[in-house]
Amino acid sequence: MRVSRLLLVTLRDDPAEAEIVSHKLLLRGGYIRRISSGIYAYLPLLWRVLQKIEHIVRDEMNATGALETLLPQLQPAELWQRSGRWDGYTAGEGIMFHLDDRQGRALGLGPTHEEVITTLAADLLRSYRQLPVNLYQIQTKFRDEIRPRFGLMRGREFIMKDAYSFHADEASLGQTYGAMDQAYRRIFARCGLRAVAVEADSGAIGGSASQEFMVTAEAGEDLILTSSDGRYAANQERAVSLPSPAIPLQASSCTELTTPGQRSIEALCSAHGFDPSQTVKVLLLLARFATGQPQPLLVSLRGDQQLNEVKLANAVNGRAESGAGALLEIAPITPEQLQGEGLAALPFGFVGPQLSDAVLESARTWTPRFLRLADATALELERFVCGACRPDSHLVGASWGDLCPTAFLRPTGLDLRSAQPGDRCVHEPTQRLEAARGIEVGHIFQLGRKYSQALEATFTNEAGSDEPLWMGCYGIGVSRLAQAAVEQHHDSQGICWPVTIAPFEVIVVPANGDDPQQTQLAEELYDALRQAGVDALLDDRSERAGVKFKDADLIGIPWRVVVGRGAPQGRIELVRRRGTVSQELEASALLNSLMPALQNERLGLLEQHA
State the residues that interact with ligand ATP by CB under 6 A: 112, 143, 145, 154-155, 158, 160, 203, 440-443, 475, 477, 479-480
Give the CB-nearest residue to ligand ATP: 477
Can you tell me whether residue 599 is helix, strand or coil?
helix
Three-state secondary structure call for residue 284: strand
| Region binding Mg ion by CB under 5 A among candidate stretches 123-131, 342-350, 438-446, 566-574 | 438-446
Amino acid of residue 178: G
The whole-angstrom distance between residue 604's C-alpha and the CA centroid of its chain comes to 24
Phi, psi of 37 (to 5 degrees): -55, 120
Instruction: Kindly state the helix (H) or strand (E) to which residue 109 belongs, with its residue range.
Output: strand 106-109
CB of 212 to Mg ion, least distance (A): 6
Q: Residue 195, CB half-sphere, CA atoms under 13 Å: how many?
A: 30
> How far, in whole angstroms, is CA 306 from its chain's centroid?
21
- CA R_g for the chain: 30
Question: How far is it, in rounded angstroms, from Cα 549 to Cα 547?
Answer: 6
What does the alpha-carbon distance between residue 582 and residue 213 come to, in Å, rounded to a whole number? 35
Q: Minimum distance between the CB of residue 481 and ligand ATP, rounded to whole angstroms?
A: 7
Taking CB atoms, the residue at the shortest distance from Mg ion is 443
What angle do helix axes 516-531 and 590-602 make, rounded to 10 degrees? 50
Output the smallest distance, CB 318 to ligand ATP, in A: 20
Closest separation between CB of residue 41 and ligand ATP, Å? Answer: 15
**Cα 29 vs. chain centroid, distance in angstroms?**
25
Which is nearest to 184 in space by CA: 476, 488, 498? 476
Q: What is the secondary structure of 350-403 as a DSSP string?
A: S--TT--GGGGTT-SSS-SS-EEEEEHHHHT-SSEEEE-SSTTEEEEEE-HHHH
Amino acid, single-letter form, for residue 279: T
CB of residue 443 to ligand ATP, shortest distance in Å = 3
- Decide which of Mg ion, ligand ATP, none touches 14; Cβ closer than 5 to 8 Å per partner kind: none
Q: Does 154 bind Mg ion (CB under 5 A)?
A: no
Q: How many residues bind Mg ion (CB under 5 A)?
A: 1
Nearer residue to Mg ion within complex by CB, 443 or 480: 443
Instruction: Say which entry of ligand ATP, Mg ion, none residue 145 contacts (CB below 5 to 8 A, set by partner kind).
Output: ligand ATP
**Residue closer to ligand ATP (CB basis): 112 or 500:** 112
Quick one: what does residue 277 bind among ligand ATP, Mg ion, none, with the CB cut-off 5 to 8 Å set by partner type?
none
Which residue lies nearer to ligand ATP by CB, 221 or 256?
221
- Name which of Mg ion, ligand ATP, none residue 206 binds, using a CB cut-off of 5 to 8 Å depending on partner kind: none
438 binds, among ligand ATP, Mg ion, none (CB under 5 to 8 A by kind): none
Kindly tell me which of 160 and 240 has the beta carbon lying closer to ligand ATP: 160
Do residues 85 and 206 lie in contact, with contact meaning Cβ atoms separated by under 8 Å? no
What residues form DSSP beta bridges with 298? 284, 372
3-state secondary structure of 555: helix
| Nearer Cβ to ligand ATP (42/158) | 158
- Considering beta carbons, is residue 94 or 566 the nearer one to ligand ATP? 94
Q: 443 or 490: whose CB is closer to Mg ion? A: 443
Nearest distance from C-beta of residue 97 to ligand ATP, angstroms: 12
Task: Give CA–CA dist 166/473, Å, rounded.
Answer: 9
CA-CA distance, 418 to 225, in Å (whole number)? Answer: 11
Shortest distance, CB of residue 200 to ligand ATP, whole angstroms?
A: 8
Q: Pick one of Mg ion, ligand ATP, none as the site partner of residue 314 (Cβ within 5 to 8 A by kind).
A: none
* Shortest Å, Cβ 66 to Mg ion: 19
Indicate the residue among 237 and 375 with the shorter CB distance to ligand ATP. 237
Contact 17, 546 (CB under 8 A): no
**Is 160 or 374 the residue whose CB approaches ligand ATP more closely?**
160
Q: Are 258 and 391 in contact (CB under 8 A)?
A: no
Q: Which of 487, 497, 479 is nearest to 442 (CA)?
A: 479
Is residue 607 helix, strand or coil? helix
Q: Which partner in ligand ATP, Mg ion, none is near 487 (CB below 5 to 8 A by kind)?
A: none
- 238: contact with Mg ion by CB under 5 A: no
DSSP string, 414-478: E--BPP-TTPBPSS-TT-BEEEEEEEEEEEEEEEETHHHHHTT-EEE-TTS-EEEPEEEEEEEEH
Q: Residues 72, 62: contact at Cβ < 8 Å? A: no
The option from ligand ATP, Mg ion, none interacting with 110 (CB < 5 to 8 A, set by class) reads none
Q: How far is the CB of 442 from Mg ion (least distance, A)?
A: 8
Q: Which is nearer to ligand ATP, 221 or 491 (CB)?
A: 221
Q: Does 443 bind Mg ion (CB under 5 A)?
A: yes
Q: Which of 287, 289, 290 is nearest to 299 (CA)?
A: 287
- Please state, as a whole number, how many other Cβ atoms lie within 10 Å of the Cβ of residue 74: 11
Q: How far is the CB of 108 from Mg ion (least distance, A)?
A: 19
**Considering beta carbons, is residue 154 or 443 the nearer one to Mg ion?**
443
Which region holds residue 273: left if phi is over 0, alpha if psi is between -120 and 50, else beta? left
Q: In angstroms, what is the minimal distance from the CB of 543 to Mg ion?
A: 44
Residue 514, SS3 per DSSP: coil
The binder of 154, among ligand ATP, Mg ion, none, by C-beta within 5 to 8 A per type, is ligand ATP
Question: Which residue, 20 or 598, is less far from ligand ATP as judged by CB?
Answer: 20
Among the listed ranges 357-365, 436-444, 495-503, 549-557, the one in contact with Mg ion (CB under 5 A) is 436-444
Stretch touching Mg ion by CB under 5 A, among 362-370, 377-385, 423-431, 443-451: 443-451
Q: Which of ligand ATP, Mg ion, none does residue 174 bind to, with CB < 5 to 8 Å depending on kind?
A: none
Question: Interface residues with Mg ion (CB under 5 A)?
Answer: 443
